[in-house]
Amino acid sequence: MDAEIFKGGGIFIFCEFDNRGYEPDPVDILYTVTCETDIMKGLEFDISVVEEHELLGIDSCEKVSGSCYKLDIRILAENEVENREIYLQRLLTLEERIAETLEKYGAN
């Protein structure tokens, strides 16, 4: 696992896409990931409990951008091994969102 993910803190969510423009799950099923241990717990929950498949492991973790990491995982589904990608998107703080917006659109 990339030791840099949680360096300096941060709150992450799992998502299916590597871009920030997608809409996350409804808040009644959305949860946050705040440490490396949460990654495995969350994947186990999503794969084993929700999908009723078996998580075989994380093959790699790659930084996609300053706030996104791609996890390559293997699962056992219907007696077949599947490779999947899932992303960890870091939620921006208010200050980061303001700075990003001002940089993109300029100050009023």
Residue 2, pLDDT > 70, answer no
Q: What is the average per-residue pLDDT within 85-98?
A: 92
β-pair partners for 83: 74
| Pairing state between β 12-15 and 80-90 | antiparallel
CA atoms of 10 and 4, how far apart (whole Å): 11
Rounded to a whole number of angstroms, the CA Rg of the chain reads 15
Higher-pLDDT residue of 35, 106: 35
Tokens of 10: 């941060």
Residue 4, pLDDT > 90, answer no
Tell me the per-residue pLDDT of 20-78, one tens digit each, with 9 for 90 and over.
Answer: 878 888 888 899 999 889 999 999 999 999 899 999 999 999 999 888 999 999 999 99
